[in-house]
């Protein structure tokens, strides 16, 4: 399947887009495998499309300039990705390992179509686990005073390892605006609550105190405002009066793992498109 | 929104279908509101498409012969429906009213885009309820000896009321092959189990005896073989050791109502396409 | 089953409670049908118990003074309810009917073990529906200036009809502190969001704007602070980028109905105990 | 928490059981942490109880003969377990590792209150993973001719490692009647379907062919009849027409892992009691 490509399109909706794109692909002998599209506001707003197709000998370097003509006509924001070049991830973790373990296992099982290029942590306890998986591990200690230098070091590593996307797998550190600016729409965080409920620290304790009957987790792109970026995926699990904060944390780990893994999988398969502060997910 | 139409297409997959259809619609000034498509076997099998578009002055009686040319080229099984003409339902019920009540309420709330043309029952207990909703009610008694005449009577009523689809809302009677032949892919049944588990009578008792931890309901098109037709929708609800057969029936009524209502809604909005004994649901 | 009673107990946890209560019931020939208990903080905090038992000739008027001796020894907050006297509900509604319809149907189906004593609304559109169910309907118009007199009228009606519990089935009005004080822990509201997310007005619009992937509903006891009372039940439903605010409202109606019906059912069956601002639900 | 014990009781229901048991525990200064009970058939059938209590200096070797007196009076089937002695598991696997990885991780995270005494496999591919976790791994090849000797070898290992419970984490082999007889109600299997649907081999292919809208997994005790033993836990995940058999297997792995982990956790915490071919789960 190395000759598969994906075309991602966002543009103002107007008649003729699908006709133009599909005609273009047909004329270039590109055989469509999957195609998803979405028109907001019943065809009156924005238009989004994801097409997965066999390149069938089509050369992406020829495709791009030719398609740019159509793209310009419709004012498209677009990109073409090739599955032959795997998406490269960096995973940032703190002490907790559950989200990391899940991603490592998904990668090993072949369910996550990406390379885990490196793991960065402000602790060392997960070093052996990562080493056993044959993945470079870097310990970058973090504190308010260390932060500028630590982030600079992290950015160097991300550059050196040609990372496309950063996954905060319970990293528990707030990234600076400068850091975020380097990876727009390419930093995914797992927050251990059903956002927008329980923004910030200790959401399980807050959930326990409020007496909710379902706990949740949210995977979202990181933006300047804490826990307010575009949501990619959420899920919940039922709890009741028998469950204390420790139970919520334990049960919550399941949801966090699954929700983050789903979000990362969709992201690396180019299934997530941005629409303002919201996402279109062609899952 | 009376000038909205839906084009439903099934055909062998091959390059150029989307280009041809979308070009046709573009040339006829039909503005696409929603479009869904599915290729089985990664573009090597069958192709399915549902397009909802504004007619924008386009006359369906002109559309049909012109589109037939494209349809023939690709070997399409297709149809065009107009939302201006509401889908007409007949609901068949036995004594239990929960699925009937749900459909009546959905209709009244405007969530079910269909006319309930008439209700037929082999009992009389639901007559008042139906009458109060302003819907014709017919009592057609049923027994092995009465069955041929009863079904003939039912078919006459369905014809008289120009019914498109029959909904068996816990009708509890097996329809004859002759009856089924008159409404291919247009009889929807709700079975009170998670099919294919617990086919046939008394599924809640069977579920209780087996000790399952989830009970379910299945909405499906009725085919010759009992409870074996194409599944449209299923859902489940958690149960445990505290629940006896009566509890399962009570809790199951919730699932039956919701599952049937979802299936009927999708069906009347032309969101369900058949693929052998399976369904494509563009929900 | 008219001779069934329920004993509800809350007290500080300490050894011997269960032994004393169960010995008392055994000596009074009360046959236990169901028993649930909960110790917070692993037996170091508060203790909660619900016992459903056959009275077997036991006279509640004799039971009470005798049990009071035990209750005093353990500092119990307790009550004995008899299922022979059905719980009496008042339903308050505004224009929307879905939560009302659900409760009426549950009552008719025998799933809700309570009398719906009356329905009060600040609109008249649901009058016919309620009348057809044979339930008294009262139109009590509401506005800032009318409010004191309207609430006085409502309280008179609740008193006249001997109402135990008020159900706000999408009533959309904030009750005064004076009103609330008259029905402590006996006013149940359905809020159309997954609390504490989207407190206040227009939660579906807020959920749409935030781009959540699940919408929810919450049934809770009404307290002074808006949408902050003890949560009885919550549930969610998956949504995606295709759903606009109207879709969320439509899909949300399903969840609201089910969540409210479950909460009211548990409440009238004495399955809900209060623990500070949280609930113990012996479902 | 090393001085915590659990008392498990099953007996015919009759008045006085709870009084006798709770009085016994009170007199022995045993402080109850959690207590669950269940009466089948509204107090007319069988009675089940699980009490978790602090031993508070109470010596189990004294407890047992004294409690036996009460047990005999009520015809109890009972046992007392001490959490100070961890439950010992053997995990049997074939080539697939997902269920094994989950149990290893749950153990490492402290969520599974048991020792994984050894892992047995008819393949060698998981040897390194198990060794890295510091757990003995044994390769016991399996074929029809090897089976008698292989099972004898397995039973020797189970005996040598003092195994309480065998977990078939996708072992894919049918155990002989002789083997089963050695571990009554102590062999847990994960079946990759929502039983009783899709008994036997290749359930995901069968689910795909039938066109179900939800796939599931079932953890159950192994009995003589294939996939027919008492169900401990089940769960499901939504699928649709876009998912082929490979997708169902991939999505199913999630459910299998979670369902098996929940069932094993409940089993080792003595939360599962047998009632004929069904389970009481005090989760």
Q: What is the CATH number of the domain that holds C22?
A: 3.30.70.260
Q: How far is A272 from chain D (nearest CA, A)?
A: 17
C211 and C242, same domain (yes or no): yes
Task: Tokens for C244, please give them.
Answer: 């606009």
**Chain B, chain D: beta-carbon pairs less than 8 Å apart:** 81
A258–D254 CB contact, under 8 Å: yes
What mean pLDDT, rounded, does chain B reach?
95
**Contact assessment for residue B233 and residue B218, using Cβ atoms and an 8 Å cutoff:** yes
Looking at the fold, whether A178 and A244 belong to one and the same domain comes out as: yes
SS3 call for B147: helix
Kindly give the pairing relationship between strand B214-221 and strand B231-238. Answer: antiparallel
**How far is Cα C92 from Cα C167, in angstroms, rounded to an integer?**
6
Number of domains in chain B: 2
- Minimum-distance CB partner of B109 among C34, C98, C132: C98
User: Do B76 and B119 fall into the same domain?
Assistant: no
**Do D241 and B278 make contact, defined as CB atoms within 8 angstroms?**
yes
Spatial separation of the C-alpha atoms in residues D130 and D108, rounded to whole Å? 12
Averaged pLDDT score across all residues of chain A: 95
Give the residue from B67, B82, B97 where a domain finishes: B82
A contacts of D254 (beta carbons < 8 Å): 258
Q: What is the pLDDT of residue C1?
A: 44
Are the beta carbons of D165 and D186 closer than 8 angstroms?
yes
C135 and C69 inside one domain: no
Distance of residue C178 Cα from the nearest chain D Cα, in angstroms: 40
> Percent of chain A at pLDDT above 90?
89
pLDDT at residue B276 greater than cutoff 70: yes
Task: Considering only residues C31 and B52, tell me which one the structure prediction assigns the higher pLDDT.
Answer: B52
Total Cβ atoms within 10 A of residue B52: 22
Q: Are residues A50 and A163 in the same domain?
A: no
Instruction: Report CB contact under 8 Å: A33, B39.
Output: yes
Residue D109 phi, psi dihedral angles, 5° rounding: -75, -10
Query: Is there a contact between A48 and A37 (Cβ–Cβ < 8 Å)?
Result: yes
Q: What ipTM describes this predicted complex?
A: 0.94
How does pLDDT run across D215-254, given as a tens digit for each residue? 999 999 999 999 999 999 999 999 999 999 999 999 999 9
How far apart are alpha carbons D257 and D247 in whole angstroms? 16
Which of residues B261 and B55 earns the better pLDDT score? B261
B241, B259, B272, B273: best to mutate for the D interface, most D CBs within 10 A: B241
**Chain A residue with minimum CA distance to B18:** A22
Interface contact flag, B253 C109, Cβ < 8 Å: yes
Residues C183-206: tens digit of each pLDDT: 988 999 999 999 999 999 999 999
Interface test with D, best of A240, A244, A250, A252 (most D CBs within 10 A): A250
Distance from C-alpha of C52 to C-alpha of B17, rounded to nearest angstrom: 66
- Catalytic one of D227, D235, D240, D247: D227
Confidence of residue D19 (pLDDT cuts 50, 70, 90): very high
Q: In CATH, what number is assigned to the domain containing residue C130?
A: 3.40.50.170
Q: What is the tens place of the pLDDT at every residue in D181-211?
A: 999 889 999 999 999 999 999 999 999 999 9
Higher-pLDDT residue of B218 and D29 is B218
Question: According to the model, what pLDDT value does residue B1 have?
Answer: 44
Q: Which of chain D's residues have a Cβ under 8 Å away from the Cβ of C32?
A: 15, 18, 39, 43
Token pair for residue A251? 């049960």
- How many other β-carbons are positioned within 10 Å of the β-carbon of residue B241? 17
Answer yes or no: D227 catalytic: yes
Do A178 and A262 belong to one domain?
Answer: yes
In degrees rounded to 5, what are phi and psi of residue D269?
Answer: -95, 15
Higher pLDDT, A243 or A58: A243
Q: Is a pLDDT exceeding 70 seen at residue A2?
A: no
CB atoms within 10 A of CB A4: 18
In the structure, what pLDDT confidence band is assigned to residue C2 with cuts at 50, 70 and 90? very low
User: Are B109 and C258 an interchain contact pair (Cβ–Cβ within 8 Å)?
Assistant: no
Last residue of a domain, one of D39, D55, D82: D82
Inter-chain CB proximity B98 and C111 less than 8 Å: no
Q: Is the pLDDT of residue D81 over 50?
A: yes
DSSP state of C121: E
Angle between helices A203-210 and A245-268 (to 10 degrees): 130
Name chain C contacts of D15, Cβ cutoff 8 Å: 26, 29, 31-32
At residue D57 the predicted structure's pLDDT band, cuts being 50, 70 and 90, is confident
Of the given ranges (B84-93, C25-34, C231-240, D124-133), which has the lowest mean pLDDT?
C25-34
Structure tokens at A268: 């690396």
Confidence of residue A35 (pLDDT cuts 50, 70, 90): very high
Question: Which sign does the torsion angle of CA A259, A159, A273, D244 carry?
Answer: negative
Do B42 and A34 lie within an 8 Å CB cutoff?
A: yes
CA distance A52 to chain B (A): 10
Q: Encoding tokens for residue D208?
A: 């795909």
Chains touching A (3+ CB pairs < 8 Å): B, C, D
Cα–Cα distance measured from residue D251 to residue C119, given in angstroms and rounded to the nearest whole number: 48
Query: Average per-residue pLDDT in chain C?
Result: 95
Residues of C in contact with A195 (CB under 8 A): 197, 210, 212
Rounded mean pLDDT, B256-266: 97
Are residues A137 and A217 both part of a single domain? yes
What is the average per-residue pLDDT within D173-188? 94
For residue A254, list chain D residues with Cβ-Cβ distance below 8 A.
Answer: 258
User: CA-to-CA distance for C204 and C195, rounded, in angstroms?
Assistant: 12
Residues of chain D in contact with residue C34, where contact means CB-CB under 8 angstroms, are: 39, 42-43
Cβ-defined contact of A41 to C244 (cutoff 8 Å): yes
Out of D40, D57, D82, pick the residue that ends a domain. Answer: D82
A contact set with D (CB within 8 A): 34, 97-98, 101, 105, 109, 111, 132, 242, 250, 253-254, 258
DSSP letters, chain B, are -TTEEEEEEEEE--TTHHHHHHHHHHHTTPEEEEEEEEEGGGGTSEEEEEEEEE-TT--HHHHHHHHHHHHHHHT-EEEEEETTS-EEEEEEE-S--HHHHHHHHHHHHT-S-EEEEEEEESSSTTHHHHHHTT--EEE----TTTHHHHHHHHHHHHHHTT-SEEEESS---PPPHHHHHHSTT-EEEEESS-TTTT-SS-HHHHHHHHT-SEEEEEEEE--SSTT-SPEEEEEEEE--TT--HHHHHHHHHHHHHHHHHHHHHHHHTT-EEEETTEEEE--
Query: Which H helix or E strand runs over B48?
Result: strand B46-54
For residues D233 and D83, which has the higher predicted lDDT (pLDDT)? D233
Query: Are D95 and D215 members of one domain?
Result: yes
Mean pLDDT of C233-261: 96
D18 closest CB neighbour out of C16, C22, C29: C22
Residues of the domain holding C22:
4-82
- Mean residue pLDDT of chain D comes to 95
Whether B216 and B277 map to the same domain: the answer is yes
B250:C98 CB<8 A: no
Q: Are residues D265 and D154 in the same domain?
A: yes
Lowest mean pLDDT among B128-142, C133-147, D42-56, D182-196: D42-56
What was the pLDDT predicted at D2? 47
Helix axes D203-210, D245-268, angle to 10 degrees: 120
Q: Are residues C39 and C179 in the same domain?
A: no
Spell out which chain C residues touch chain B, with contact meaning CB-CB distance below 8 angstroms: 34, 97-98, 101, 105, 109, 111, 132, 242, 250, 253-254, 258
- In this predicted structure, what is the pLDDT of residue B2? 47
User: Which tokens belong to A59?
Assistant: 């050369």
Q: What is the mean pLDDT of residues D130-157?
A: 97
Q: What is the pLDDT of residues A128-181, one digit of tens each?
A: 999 999 999 999 999 999 999 999 999 999 999 999 999 999 999 999 999 999
pLDDT of residue C41: 82
> Is the domain of C108 the same as that of C151?
yes
DSSP A225: S
Of A274, A202, A200, which Cα lies nearest the Cα of A231?
A: A274
**pLDDT per position as a tens digit, C96-131:** 999 999 999 999 999 999 999 999 999 999 999 999
């Amino acid at each position: 399947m190395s000759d598969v490509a994906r075309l991602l399109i966002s543009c103002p909706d107007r008649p003729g887009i699908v006709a133009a794109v599909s005609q273009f692909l047909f004329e270039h002998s590109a055989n469509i495998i999957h195609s998803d599209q979405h028109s907001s506001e019943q065809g009156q707003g924005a238009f989004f499309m994801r097409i997965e197709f066999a390149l069938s000998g089509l050369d992406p370097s020829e495709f791009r300039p030719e398609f740019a003509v159509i793209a310009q006509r419709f004012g498209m924001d677009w990109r073409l990705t090739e599955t032959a070049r795997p998406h490269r991830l960096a995973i940032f973790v703190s002490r907790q390992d559950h989200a990391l373990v899940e991603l490592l296992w998904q990668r090993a099982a072949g369910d996550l179509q990406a390379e885990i290029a490196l793991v960065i942590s402000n602790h060392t306890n997960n070093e052996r686990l990562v080493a056993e998986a044959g993945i470079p591990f870097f310990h970058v200690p973090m504190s308010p005073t260390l932060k500028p230098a630590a982030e600079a070091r992290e950015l160097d590593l991300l550059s050196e390892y040609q990372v496309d996307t950063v996954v905060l797998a319970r990293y528990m550190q707030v990234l600076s605006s400068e850091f975020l600016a380097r990876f727009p729409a390419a930093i995914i965080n797992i927050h251990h609550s059903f956002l927008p409920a329980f923004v910030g620290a200790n959401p399980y304790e807050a959930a326990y105190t409020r007496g909710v009957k379902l706990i949740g987790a949210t995977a979202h792109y990181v933006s300047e405002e804490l826990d307010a970026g575009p949501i990619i995926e959420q899920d919940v699990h039922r709890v009741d009066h028998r469950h204390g904060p420790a139970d919520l944390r334990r049960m919550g780990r399941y949801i966090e793992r699954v929700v983050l893994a789903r979000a990362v999988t969709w992201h690396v398969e180019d299934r997530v498109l941005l629409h303002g502060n919201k996402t279109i997910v062609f899952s």
